[in-house]
Amino acid sequence: MGKNILLILLCGLWMLSCQNEEEEIFDQAPEQRIRERLAEFSSQLTTPVHGWKMEYRPTNETGSHLVLLQFGTDGKVNLKTSLPGYEGGKVSSYRVGSSQLPELVFDTHTFFHELFELGRSTLGAEFEFFIERSSSEEIVLKSKSDYYPAATAARMVRADESDWQMLDRQVAYQSFLMGLPVFNTLTIGDQVYGATISPWLGILVLNPVVSGKTSGLLFSVPFKLVEGGMQVLGDHEAPGGLGIIPGGTKILKDEQGSWVQQVVDASSQELGQMEGSHQPPFGIASNALVGLSESPFAQYDQSVLAGLSDAEALKLLAELGSFHILVGGAGVFEQAVQPVFGLPGFIYCFFRWGTLDLADEQPPFSGFEMWFEGEELIRRYLLYALDESQLALSRIGFDFIGLHNFSEENYNTTLSFWSALASDGDRTFTVRYTGRVLYSNAIQFNFELVDGTDSANRILFECLYFL
C-alpha cells in the first residue's frame, strides 16, 4: 500500500513538474521575434536611397577605408571603395540571418574578403558580422569570428550624395597612390622619412632618415584617406627617440616641398586640370606622370576647360605658344615587381605616332596624336602644341617596343635605350629614347623627337613610370 501511495505521489509530482508556470517576458515566441527582428533589419538596410557608409578598419594596426554600400531587396549589395576593382562599385550578395545572434554575411566575394585574405587570411578582417544594434540611422556590426567582448566593431551610418562624391575624389587619389608605392622622402614635423605605402592595408611604412641615410628603424603608421591627402590614425612614436607622429597628421597636403608633394603637383593638379576637358586617358593614368614644371592650363579657369572638346583643347594649346609638355601614357608590366633592388623590372611600351585628324586646322597649328598601347588597351592622347616655327608634322609614323631590365647598377644613371631616325618625306627626325632609374622602383624616361640636328626644334617627353 505504501508503495502504491509513493508511486501515485511521484506521478503527481512528475505531472506538476510538467506545468508551465514560467512568466512570459515577451509577447511572441522566440522564432517569431527573430523573424520580425531580421525583417526589420532587412528593411533598414534597403531603405536609404543613397545606401550606407562605413569606415572599415579591420584592426588597430591597419588603416581605415571608406566603404559605401547599397543593399537591394534581391539579396545583392553594390559596394564601392577607392581600392582597385571597387572604384566603380561591385555587386556581391549578402544575407541576413541568425546563428547565435542575428547576423549580416557578405556571402560572395567582395571587398571585405579581399582584406580577409591578406597575409594568408591572418590580417583579422571580417565578412561575417553579428548585428549589435540597428536603427534607421545607424547600424553597428561586430566581427563574428573575433572573440567577444573584444570583437572588432564596424559602424554604418546613412550615406548621402556627398559621400558618393567624396568617394569619387578618393578614387582618383587612391589611383595615384597605387602607382606610388615608394616615396623618396617624406617630411613630418622636423623628421625626414623614407616611406612605403600599402594602400590595401592603409599603412605607411616609415624609415627615419638619420644623418642623410635611412636608418632601418622601420615602423608603420595607419592612415585613412581624407580630402586631398592621407591622415594618420592615432599617435605613433618613431623608434630611437626620433619623435612622435601625432594622430591627425595630414600627409601630402602640407607644403614640405618634398618629392612626394612634387609628384602630387604633377599628377593631381596638372593631370587633374586636363581631366576636366579630356576624361580619357588621364582619369586613370596611374602609371604615367608628367614631368611638367608649369601647367599650360594654369591661366584658364577650370570651368572653361571642362567644357572643351578635344579639338578645342588642342586649339587652345596651340595658342599658348611654345612649351614642352609631356604626358605619359599607359604601361603594361610584364610581371609583378617588388619595390626592391635586385629584382628585374620590365616596361613594355608601345607608342605610335600618326596624324591628328584636324583636317580644317591651318598652321601654325599642327599636331599629332599618340597612342599608348598595352596588351589589352589602346589609349589615345597626347596633347601638345608647337610654336609657329615648329615642324609641320604629318603622317610621321614610327613604332617602338622597349623592353628593358633595370637594376641597382643603373640607379640615377642615364641610359640610352634607343634611338632611331624617322622621316616624313623630305625631313628627317632623330628620335632618342633615354631613361634613368630613379629611386628603387621608378624610372624616368625621356623621349625626344628632334628635327634634323637642331635641338631647338624638338619635342620632349618626360615620363615617370613606377615599377
Partner 1 sequence: MLQNHKLSAVLVMLMLMLLGCKSDESVSFDPLPKQNDSNDPLDKYLYAEFQQTFNCMVRYRFVNRYVDDSKRVTPPDRSLVQPYMDFLKDHWVHPYLESGSGSETLIRKLFPAEIVLIGSPMYNLDGTVTLGTADAGVRITLTEVNDFDLENLNWKISQLHVMQHEFSHIIHQKYDLPDNYQKISEGDYTGSGWTIKDYSEMLRLGFVTPYASSDPNEDFAELVSNLLTLPESFFYERFLDINRNELGVLWAETDDGNADPEVVRGKLRIQEKYEAVQKYFKEVLDIDFEMLRTNTLARLFPPSVVSQEKELAASYQN
Residue 399: half-sphere exposure toward Cβ, Cα within 13 Å: 6
C-alpha cell at 114: 579581399
Separation between Cα atoms, residue 284 and residue 69, nearest integer Å: 23
314: left (phi over 0), alpha (psi -120 to 50) or beta: alpha
Q: Name which position in 2, 120, 148, 211 contacts partner 1 (CB under 8 A).
A: 120
Q: Minimum Å distance from CB 124 to partner 1?
A: 11
Question: Does residue 26 bind partner 1 (CB under 8 A)?
Answer: no
Residue 170 DSSP one-character state? H
Question: Does residue 33 bind partner 1 (CB under 8 A)?
Answer: no
Q: If we measure between CA atoms, which residue out of 335, 363, 360, 359 comes closest to residue 347?
A: 335
The interface region with partner 1, picked from 6-14, 55-63, 296-304, 444-452 by CB under 8 A, is 6-14
Q: Name which position in 91, 101, 304, 378 contacts partner 1 (CB under 8 A).
A: 91
Residue 377: half-sphere exposure toward Cβ, Cα within 13 Å: 13
The interface region with partner 1, picked from 58-66, 100-108, 219-227, 400-408 by CB under 8 A, is 100-108
Question: Does residue 113 bind partner 1 (CB under 8 A)?
Answer: yes
Question: Does residue 24 bind partner 1 (CB under 8 A)?
Answer: no
Q: Residue 16 or 421: which CB sits closer to partner 1?
A: 16
Separation between Cα atoms, residue 282 and residue 313, nearest integer Å: 14
Cβ atoms of 26 and 33 closer than 8 Å: yes
E strand intervals along 114-202: 128-134, 138-143, 153-158, 182-188, 191-198
Q: Residue 91 or 401: which CB sits closer to partner 1?
A: 91
Cβ atoms of 94 and 75 closer than 8 Å: yes
Question: Does residue 255 bind partner 1 (CB under 8 A)?
Answer: no
Compute how many residues bind partner 1; rule: CB under 8 A: 30
Question: Does residue 239 bind partner 1 (CB under 8 A)?
Answer: no
Q: Name which position in 21, 22, 24, 74 contacts partner 1 (CB under 8 A).
A: 74
The interface region with partner 1, picked from 114-122, 208-216, 330-338, 421-429 by CB under 8 A, is 114-122
Question: Does residue 424 bind partner 1 (CB under 8 A)?
Answer: no
Question: Does residue 433 bind partner 1 (CB under 8 A)?
Answer: no
Q: Minimum Å distance from CB 2 to partner 1?
A: 12
Question: Does residue 107 bind partner 1 (CB under 8 A)?
Answer: yes
∠ CA 98-40-77, nearest 5°, is: 75
The interface region with partner 1, picked from 90-98, 194-202, 355-363, 420-428 by CB under 8 A, is 90-98
In the chain, the amino acid numbered 162 is: S
Question: Does residue 95 bind partner 1 (CB under 8 A)?
Answer: yes
Q: Minimum Å distance from CB 76 to partner 1?
A: 8
| Residue-level length of the chain | 467
Q: Minimum Å distance from CB 92 to partner 1?
A: 6
Tell me if the bond preceding 364 is cis, omega within 30° of 0. Answer: yes
Separation between Cα atoms, residue 436 and residue 407, nearest integer Å: 10
- In which residue are the cell numbers 640607379 written? 411
Q: Name which position in 78, 108, 191, 355 contacts partner 1 (CB under 8 A).
A: 108
The interface region with partner 1, picked from 110-118, 271-279, 350-358, 446-454 by CB under 8 A, is 110-118
236: left (phi over 0), alpha (psi -120 to 50) or beta: beta
Question: Does residue 116 bind partner 1 (CB under 8 A)?
Answer: yes
Q: Any bridge partners for residue 444, and if so which?
A: 436, 464
Binding mask 123-162 for partner 1 (x = CB under 8 A): ----xx----------------------------------
∠ CA 130-136-137, nearest 5°, is: 90
Separation between Cα atoms, residue 211 and residue 178, nearest integer Å: 30
Question: Could you say which residues in the range 201-230 bind partner 1, by CB under 8 A?
Answer: none
Separation between Cα atoms, residue 180 and residue 265, nearest integer Å: 13
Q: Name which position in 23, 31, 161, 301 contacts partner 1 (CB under 8 A).
A: 31
Q: Residue 218: what are its φ and ψ, rounded to 5°?
A: -70, 140
Q: Any bridge partners for residue 79, and if so which?
A: 69, 90
Q: Name which position in 16, 18, 150, 421 contacts partner 1 (CB under 8 A).
A: 18
Q: Residue 107 or 254: which CB sits closer to partner 1?
A: 107
Question: Does residue 86 bind partner 1 (CB under 8 A)?
Answer: no
Q: Residue 376 or 409: which CB sits closer to partner 1?
A: 376
Q: Minimum Å distance from CB 3 to partner 1?
A: 8
The interface region with partner 1, picked from 108-116, 165-173, 275-283, 292-300 by CB under 8 A, is 108-116
Q: Which residues contact 372 (CB under 8 A, 6 or more apart)?
A: 281, 329, 330, 331, 349, 350, 351, 378, 379, 380, 381
The interface region with partner 1, picked from 106-114, 239-247, 264-272, 348-356 by CB under 8 A, is 106-114
List residues binding partner 1 (CB under 8 A).
3-4, 7-8, 11, 14-15, 18, 29, 31, 74-75, 91-93, 95, 97, 105-110, 113, 116-117, 120-121, 127-128
